[in-house]
Amino acid sequence: MRPIQFSCLVLTLCLSASAEDVKLREQASQLLEIANAVSLPGGLPAFEQTVTFRVYEPDGSVKAGSYTRVSAGATGHRDETTFGDYHSSYVMYGDRVSGRRTASEPPPEVRELRRQLPILLVRFDQSDVIREIREANVSGRPAKCIEFDTLTNGTPVSNELCMDIERGVLLRSHLGDEQIENTDFFRIANLYEPAHIHRYVSGKLRMEINQQMKLIEGALNPNVFSPPSSHWDTVTGCANHRRPVAIFTPQPLPGNKGQEIVDVVVHGYITDKGAVWRPVIDSSPNASLNAEALQLVSTWKFQPLMCNDEPALTDADFILHFQGR
């Protein structure tokens, strides 16, 4: 399963799929393509997005934050994020960018928020095997649910995607130990986006997101694109790009404590040489696995991101699957 990312990249192993019904896969892929088409926000004109979110920590504490984006389409956009002591302002206008933030890297919770907005969309890849498409009721809506397996470390993991029959939108995704529920869709231009997003990990609520988006009529206030810092940097966008491709990404050796799989997520960068740089633990259910995760991911190799036909640096999340550990 390959996520369609708007701000970051998540990389996992892609293994060959076993035999499956060709027509069933064709139908499943068509349902997923429709879900992407009705929610993918790339072609929106000028709009304003307002988001509040709450993060539910494993220790029972709750943290709140906010995010806003004012976009003028291809002309530029302004983002503001607040989460606890962290605050960032970022303005991109034409080929210039200016930003200010209170830490060198955004917190993991903020990166997770950006992964979810305005909706997390996915595509099938060769590691996915479609098993069944069934009709169901999801969040009060008639839906078609795709049941499929993903080969993870040689072991099939059961997953599910549910699409609204009437609108085609993605209502629920259950991928590994993560479940995301999208509800109360609203219309903006010719798209549908969820007003409420709930993210669960191993059945426990971890993030709750409330968002609204509206089109901006008329000319934007020019102050929107005032740089938050004292200088602009010139940036070059990617007229064409190719995502990094995994070459050598070994997973941890399985242990002897059963078939249960836990994931450790490492955040870092893929350099223009294809090496992993500055890896740090993003999330981990077991701190005793962290050192091994960092050591192993440091050996991973990729064909790097290609931007305008040149290799380039990009940030990424790397997922390591520990089985029976």
pLDDT tops 90 at residue 139: yes
Q: Say if residue 100's pLDDT is above 50.
A: yes
pLDDT at residue 74, as a whole number: 77
- How does the average pLDDT of the chain come out, rounded? 87
Query: Based on the domain organization, do 139 and 168 belong to the same domain?
Result: yes
Identify which of 53-57, 71-75, 244-248, 306-310 has the greatest average pLDDT: 53-57
Classify residue 155: in a domain, yes or no. Answer: yes
Listed residues 234, 256, 275: the one ending a domain: 234
Does 12 have pLDDT greater than 50? Answer: no
Neighbours of 182 (CB within 10 A): 28
Query: How many domains does the chain contain in total?
Result: 2
> Which pLDDT score is estimated for 1?
65
Query: What φ, ψ does residue 111 adopt, rounded to 5°?
Result: -65, -40
Distance CA 191, CA 167 (A): 10
CATH number for the domain spanning 295: value is 3.30.2420.10
- Which of 183, 210, 234 is the last residue in one of the domains? 234
The answer, yes or no, to whether residue 153 has pLDDT greater than 70, is no
Residue 238 has pLDDT above 60, yes or no: yes
Percent of the chain with pLDDT over 90: 52
Is residue 103 domain-shared with residue 147, that is, in the same domain?
yes
- Segment 110-139 mean pLDDT: 91
In the predicted structure, residue 58 carries a pLDDT above the cut 90 = no
State the pLDDT confidence band at 230, using cuts at 50, 70 and 90: confident
Q: Please enumerate in sequence order all residues whose Cβ is within 8 A of that of 53, keeping only pairs 6 or more positions apart, or say none.
A: 64, 65, 66, 67, 113, 207, 208, 209, 210
Find the mean pLDDT for residues 194-210.
95
Last residue of a domain, one of 234, 264, 289: 234
Whether 75 and 198 share a structural domain = yes
Q: Is residue 15 part of a domain?
A: no
Question: Regarding predicted confidence, which is higher, 320 or 2?
Answer: 320
Six-digit token string for 265: 């997520």
Given a cut of 60, whether residue 96 has pLDDT beyond it is yes
Residues 77 and 118 in one domain: yes
Answer yes or no: is 191 within a domain.
yes
- Enter the tokens of residue 73: 């389409």
Indicate the pTM of the whole model: 0.78
Would residue 192 count as lying in a domain? Answer: yes
Residue range 257-293, pLDDT digits in tens: 887 778 898 999 999 999 999 999 988 889 999 999 9
Pairing of β 155-164 and β 141-152: antiparallel
CA distance 170 to 121: 8
7 in any annotated domain: no
Ranking 1-10, 101-110, 152-161 by mean pLDDT, the lowest is 1-10
Supply φ then ψ for residue 308, to 5 degrees: 50, 40
Query: Residue 167 has what pLDDT?
Result: 96
Average pLDDT, stretch 159-174? Answer: 97
Q: In angstroms, what CA-CA distances link 291 with 166, 176, 249, 322?
A: 48, 23, 17, 13
Whether 131 shows a pLDDT value over 90: the answer reads yes
Q: What own/partner pairs with CB < 8 Å and gap ≥ 24 does 255-260 have? A: 255/322, 255/323, 255/324, 255/325, 256/324, 257/324, 257/325, 258/324, 259/155, 259/323, 259/324, 260/323, 260/324
Supply the range of the domain harboring residue 130.
20-220+227-234
- The Cα–Cα gap between 296 and 287 comes to 15
Task: Tell me which of 184 and 233 has the higher pLDDT.
Answer: 184
Task: Let me know whether 210 and 260 are in one domain.
Answer: no
| pLDDT attached to residue 6 | 47
